[in-house]
């Protein structure tokens, strides 16, 4: 698929916090992927759809790559020929390592974000711009969904937690051995594996609290910590491509002005006030409608869950005399 050359890519992500350009664990790898490709892009934040599975997404003119289509934004950009860091590298070589990150490490990060902490990190990333009651209800809704996804119940909670951290430890050890002292995982150049893993590492190191078990597991692998810190210092904070990274075929000519996302410590610049257009007024009305419908949906959800819990308790009372073997 061709994207018009004069149309710059736009990455729509969740907001910046914790010293990261976007603190969302799904958005950060896409941001890093575009930075590693040395592609000019504009970063914009969506603050009113915290539970949308379309975010992050990349658009350029009429082209859009959504998070919930195909296998995600990065795969869409590769398949559509927009930005492909993995050219000339056998797909199966990267896929086997990618599977470890997208399963064991993604599960561990998800567990810590929604279940293994007090919820303050998730609130700041997703819900801090919403009215408090709606944000709180959406948080409870998401924690329930994560429990279902990870297969966690009251009976197996401790066992599943231990299993999640055991797999994460194995994953960190394996990736640490694979990386060694290299700058990148394959052929001394960045790939989608680097982008996705760096996104995970920086989220764990910067967003999760000091009491995080997952963070402590990561800190045991000193070369992985150096790998993340070197990228952050030499690339993101410096705002330029390190000399060790080959020039990307997607790199624009030097005569083309390049827009870059806000620096890690900055906030989006406020725009001068102007009279609202009809389109902006319509957007604000829709935003208010969205918040109202979300509140109704969550209230219905909680009422249904309350009924489900009562039914589960009745079932448990009826099974007091029965023993089950694991």
**pLDDT at 47 (0 to 100):** 87
pTM as predicted: 0.74
pLDDT at 267 over 80: no
Mean pLDDT, residues 18-46: 95
**Domain parsing of the chain, residue ranges:** 9-237
What's the whole-number average pLDDT of the chain? 81
- Average the pLDDT over each of 96-100, 168-172, 269-273 and give the range with the smallest value: 269-273
Q: Which residue has the tokens 């969205």?
A: 290
Structural tokens at position 49:
């759809």
**Which pLDDT belongs to residue 51?**
82
* Share above pLDDT 90 across residues of the chain, in percent, rounded to a whole number: 63
At 124 the pLDDT is: 95
Query: Class of 9-237 per CATH?
Result: mainly alpha
Q: Is the pLDDT of residue 311 over 50?
A: no
Residue 238 has pLDDT above 60, yes or no: no
What is the full DSSP assignment across 237-268?
ITTS--TTSPPPTTPPPTTS----PPPTT--P
pLDDT for position 170: 98
DSSP annotation string for 41-59: EEEEE--S-TT-TT-SEEE
**Rounded percentage of the chain residues whose pLDDT exceeds 70:** 71
From 192, 239, 179, 169, select the one nearest 74 (Cα to Cα). Answer: 192
Residue 205, classified by CB atoms within 10 Å of its CB into exposed (0-12), middle (13-18) or buried (19+), is buried
Alpha-carbon gap, residue 264 to 239, rounded angstroms:
10
- Name the 3-class secondary structure at 64: strand
On the question of pLDDT at 24 being above 90, the answer is yes
């Amino acid at each position: 698929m061709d994207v018009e050359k004069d149309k710059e890519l736009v990455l729509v992500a969740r907001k910046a916090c914790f010293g990261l350009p976007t603190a969302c664990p799904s958005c950060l790898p896409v941001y890093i992927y575009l930075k590693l490709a040395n592609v000019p892009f504009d970063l914009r934040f969506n603050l009113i759809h915290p539970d949308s599975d379309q975010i992050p997404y990349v658009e350029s003119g009429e082209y859009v790559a959504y998070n919930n289509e195909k296998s995600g934004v990065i795969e869409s950009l590769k398949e559509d020929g927009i930005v492909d860091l993995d050219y000339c590298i056998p797909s199966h070589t990267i896929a086997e390592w990618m599977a470890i990150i997208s399963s064991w490490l993604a599960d561990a990060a998800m567990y810590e974000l929604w279940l293994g902490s007090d919820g303050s990190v998730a609130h700041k990333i997703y819900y801090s711009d919403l009215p408090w009651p709606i944000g709180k209800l959406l948080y409870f809704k998401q924690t329930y969904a994560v429990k279902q996804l990870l297969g966690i119940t009251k009976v197996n909670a401790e066992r599943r937690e231990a299993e999640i951290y055991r797999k994460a430890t194995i994953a960190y050890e394996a990736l640490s051995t694979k990386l060694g002292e290299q700058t990148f995982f394959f052929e001394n150049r960045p790939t989608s594996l680097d982008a996705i893993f760096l996104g995970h590492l920086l989220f764990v190191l910067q967003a999760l609290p000091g009491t995080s078990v997952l963070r402590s597991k990561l800190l045991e692998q000193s070369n992985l910590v150096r790998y993340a810190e070197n990228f952050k210092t030499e690339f993101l904070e410096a705002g330029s491509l390190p000399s060790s990274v080959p020039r990307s075929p997607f790199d624009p000519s030097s005569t083309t002005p390049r827009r870059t996302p806000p620096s890690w410590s900055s906030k989006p610049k406020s725009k001068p006030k102007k009279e609202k257009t009809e389109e902006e007024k319509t957007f604000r009305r829709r935003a208010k409608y969205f918040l109202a419908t979300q509140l109704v949906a969550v209230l219905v959800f909680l009422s249904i869950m309350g009924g489900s819990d009562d039914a589960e308790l009745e079932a448990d009372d009826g099974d007091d005399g029965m023993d089950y073997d694991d």
